[in-house]
Structure formats: structure tokens, C-alpha cells
Chain A
């Protein structure tokens, strides 16, 4: 009985689909494989000189370890940090952009390039990043409503199915189910939409849906803490702090953990100390995050930081030494070898041709730019180093705001 019924249903499906289905031959005819081919095109926005440099660069050994590549960097740096700093920053960049210069840098195998624009050399970088603390995630003015009418039903009937789709990595199917299914509007539907968008890493939409789950809902606590983590990931630190301060639910320690993490993200040691008072260090789900936050607080506010001036002075005495002090051993060796080579070439011509000969002047000018660039780069390296530590800590904080939720709300 059931087999013929199923077969009939599948057959009818097939008939319905056949009307608009694309045949295999059509698919084969229309296929476009140009994306499979290796395309070689100059970087977007390159001018004539940069295109020429791109052509020459391909004939030289090594590869560009940095993005944007050096021949694109100077023009961008002039626009971003001014002519003179751009000059020295490019000199420093040339010294760093080698296998040796990046030897201790982690390169993602899928994207083995360091994405570092001229803003890395800007002292205002940190200030610019702080401005990134956005005032609240934009909540969609009109979240899609549920369906109505006789065909509509309650999504709670399909809750397990939606979870099954998510658990089996069929997230797009889950989004389709809750996004266009004939369901009545309900808190469960709002939560499921947010949860599915979250799984698809559509954070803005996920935050908007999860924020809209009302306090009365049984999904409220879960939605509340996840939406806070999402807001933090999107760069909004003040919104979740305000919401957490008003929270009076059962998850007091988790509230403290999120508040402490947000205090670190906002660079507010006072607020951190206040939030950390709720740490108990005995909850399996939260203990690691609490200890990590304590360690970041100690490293950021209680330990001495490296001095950019000392790095610059060290590089003035021995090229590359400031980079080693800044923790960039490869960059230091690379700077020492290249600057030293130019110095040796200049010295040879000085001795044989005299200081006024162009053969002396040219390597001296190039070596001088590299030398000054290296001093400037060493000064900036410490700030870049400090910024990298700060970035790593920010990543760790965001991770620890977010990951414990998976254990708390199983």
C-alpha cells in the first residue's frame, strides 16, 4: 500500500517538474568552465606603471608575501599616510617581503598572503579601530512575518526536522524550510530563523532575528546570549553591555563572562574588574573562558610593553636589530642582509671611485632609503607587534564570549 503511494507521489513530482526542467543536453551546452581556467590579470585599480611592474614581477623569483603587492603599496601609502612616511614604509616593506622576512609569520595555506595595507604604518590605526565600535547592530526594520491562512501551521511541529537539517550540514535547506515554509508567526519561528542564519554565518540577519525573541519565550536566554556574541563579532560592544546590565535571568555567571569579555574589547579595565567578580572558576563550560580573560587582562594592563623608540635606536645601531627586539627575527635578518649588502657595495665604490661618483651615490641613496626605512619600520614594528597581540587577544575574547554558549545551551 505505502510503496505504490510513494511511487505515485514521486511519479507526479516528476511530471510536475518535467514541465520546466532543464535537460542534461541543455546543461552540457550551457556549461561555462572559464572559472576553472587559471586567469592572470593585474590587480584591480592598477595604473600603467603598476601594470608594467606586475608584468615584470612575474618574471622575478619569489612571490608577493603581502597584499597589496609592493608595486601597488606606495601609491596607496601616499594617499593613506602621506608622502614621506610612504617612502620609508615602502622601504621597510621591501625589506620584509621575502621568505626570510616572513619566516615566523603564520600563513594560511588557503590564502598564503599577509593582508596588510598602509594603515599598518599609521599611528592613528588604533584610534581608527576604536571608532569601529558601532552603536548597535542595525535591526531589519521589518523582519519577514510568518504566513497566515488555512495552509499555515506551527513551526514547532517541524522543530526537530529543522534541527536535523542543521545537524546534517544541510543549512541552506534549513533556511529554506523556516524562511519560506507556511508557518504561523511565533517565537519559535523567529528563533529558528535566527539560529539558521547564525549557522549560515549571516550574522547581521541572525542578530536581528535573535534579538527579536521576546523575554517570555523559552528560547529567550539562548537567543539573548547568542545575540550578544553576534553583536560583539559585528563590532557593536556598547549595545550588548547595556542589555547585559539589564539582564536578571538565571545565567548570572555567563552574564559576568560576557560583560568581562566586552570590557576587554572596549579597553575598560575598571569594568572588567567589576564583571570578573562574578567568576567562580568551577563551571566546566565557563572556567576556560574566565581564566583566559584573566590572562589577557594581566598581559594587557599589568605587564610592561615594548618601546618603539628602543626598537628604532637598536635598528639605527645595527640594521634589523630593532625588528628582532620587536619579535620579528626573520624580518631583522632580512633587513640586515639587504641593508648590509647595499652598504658594502657603496663602501667599495667609495673606496675606488670616491664619494662624488654616481656609482657611489646610487647604491648609497638606495641603501640610505632602506636604512631609514628599516629604522622607521622598526619603530612601527613594535606598534604593529603590539597591535598584533591586541588583535590576537581580541580574537581570543570573541572566541571565549561565543564558544562557551555551545556547552551552556546544549
Chain B
């Protein structure tokens, strides 16, 4: 059994030796999986999975990397190793754009290293949790003592995007185009306001002129499209800003923190 294991390990190593020169991460990943398949023990399996996840990381296959890390038996790891695995997992979720998933791991991982603080700050900024992100970012900058860039960081966070309130947007949207203006879309607001005014004018004009059927059916259909469309568009704009503004701000934070 021992001879077989040694043979297997050495053959994988030789395989990797040749492929590593060409940075063949895919073959390396297969090699690590073979170690697991060949009946590696608990610790060896965990090491192989971590190494395999690292290969996927180099390939930019973040979902595969996080899936591989989730196969690790955490109960067999010590405190330090567990923190390393959680860090890798959070990093992979983050790089894969799964910000909410990554944010779930923030508390579990804790704040034992400077790298973790940086990652937490970024994850939370992209997830729209600006206040918590600011705390981690400040602690990251002040890791080695007071930082001269702290004030600039506070100024950056002071200008974080305000999350658009879906309820407020809906209330404003009852008075087109105020909902669009609330969402900061002035051009679209003018268009929506014009469409609603035209539909309303058409309806009122027909009623005033005694064209009840046209006013009721034609105007009703037109207003249904423009007024309800205005509400739907506002809901979509809130969602768009919620997601896009957080990413834009996250990009700024990332640029700032990594510009040291």
C-alpha cells in the first residue's frame, strides 16, 4: 500500500514537473484530483483540494475553485488552516462576482490578518455594506500604525452612493416623472413625463368632448401603458442603481486601497 502511494505521488510529481514548466494548471488540477482518487488520507485530501483550488484560481475558474474548496473537510484543519481556506473561499466568491456569498464568510473568517481586512473591505463595499466596509478599510490602512491616507479614505467613504429606497421610488413614481428624477435619470424622466402627459391629455380631451368610449378604452389603454410602465421602470432603475452603484464604488475603493 505504502509503495503504491509513493509510486503514485512520485508519478504525479514527475507529471507536474513537466507540465509546470508550461504552467499547465489544468493538468496539475487533474493530478491533485488523482491523489484524492487514489485514496489519500484526510489531511492529504485537504492539501490536494487546496492545491487544486489554487490551480483553478490561476485559470480564473472561480466557481470551480470555490466548489473545490467547499469539498475540504474543515473539521480536520487547525485554526490557521481553516482561516486560510475561508480566506481563499471568500476571495474566489469575490473574484467570481458572488459578493453576497463572499460577505457571508466575513464574520466566519474574522480579522486575523491584513489580507483578510483588505478582502473584507472590498467584499462589503461591492456588496453595498459601506459602513462595515469602511471599518475594515480603515483597519487595513492602520495595520502598521496611523496612516496618512486615512483622511482620504474617510473622504472617499463619505461620498459613497446612497442606496435608493424602493418604497420612496414607488411613491415618487405616482407623480411622473418624479420617480425617474429620484433615481437620477433626468433624460428618461422627461420622456416618461411627456408620454404620461400625452396619454392623460388624450383621455381628458375625449371625455370633455363627449367621446366616452374612446376616452375610456383608448385613454385607459394608453394610460395603463404609460403610467404603469413608469412604475415598472422605476422599480427596474432602483435595482439597476443598487447593483451598479455598488460595483462602481467598489472599484474606487479597490483602486484606492491597492494603490499603496
Contact = CB atoms under 8 A, between A and B. Distances in A.
Interface residues on chain A, size class:
35 or more
Contacts of A180: 24, 26-27
Mostly, the B contact residues are helix
A12 B2 contact: no
B224 A28 contact: no
Contacts of B43: 3
A12 B12 CA distance: 11
A59 interface: yes
Contacts of B211: 348-349, 352
A61 B232 contact: yes
B76 interface: no
B214 interface: yes
Given A29-B258, A60-B229, A345 B214 contact: yes
A119 B258 CA distance: 53
Interface string B1-20: 01001100110110011001
A22 interface: yes
Contact of B16 (A16, A22, A27, A176): A16
Interface in B1-52: 2, 5-6, 9-10, 12-13, 16-17, 20, 23-24, 26-30, 33-35, 37, 40, 43-44, 47-48, 51
B247 A37 contact: yes
Interface in A55-101: 55-56, 58-62
Contact of A348 (B213, B232, B258): B213
B20 A17 contact: yes
A345 to B, nearest CB: 5
Contact of A5 (B6, B188, B213, B221): B6
A284 interface: no
Interface string A86-121: 000000000000000000000000000000000000
Nearest to B209: A352
A345 B217 contact: yes
A173 B29 contact: yes
Contacts, number: 153
Contacts of B128: none
Interface in B206-240: 210-214, 217-218, 221, 224-233, 236, 239-240
B226 A59 contact: yes
A280 interface: no
B13 A341 contact: no
Given A2-B6, A36-B243, A349-B214, A176 B29 contact: yes
B81 interface: no
B27 A17 contact: no
A29 B251 CA distance: 10
A17 B10 CA distance: 17
B54 interface: yes
A341 B217 contact: yes
A61 B33 contact: no
A37 B244 CA distance: 5
Given A24-B115, A36-B243, A36-B247, 12 more contacts: A1-B6, A2-B6, A12-B13, A13-B16, A13-B20, A19-B20, A20-B23, A33-B97, A61-B228, A161-B37, A176-B30, A345-B214
10 contacts: A2-B6, A6-B35, A13-B20, A17-B28, A17-B58, A20-B23, A33-B251, A61-B228, A172-B64, A349-B211
Interface of A: 1-3, 5-6, 9-10, 12-14, 16-17, 19-22, 24-25, 27-29, 31, 33-38, 40, 55-56, 58-62, 161, 164-165, 170, 172-173, 176-177, 180, 341, 344-345, 347-349, 352, 363
Interface of B: 2, 5-6, 9-10, 12-13, 16-17, 20, 23-24, 26-30, 33-35, 37, 40, 43-44, 47-48, 51, 54, 57-58, 64, 91, 94-95, 97, 99, 115, 118-119, 122, 126, 188, 191-192, 195, 210-214, 217-218, 221, 224-233, 236, 239-240, 243-244, 247, 250-251, 254, 258
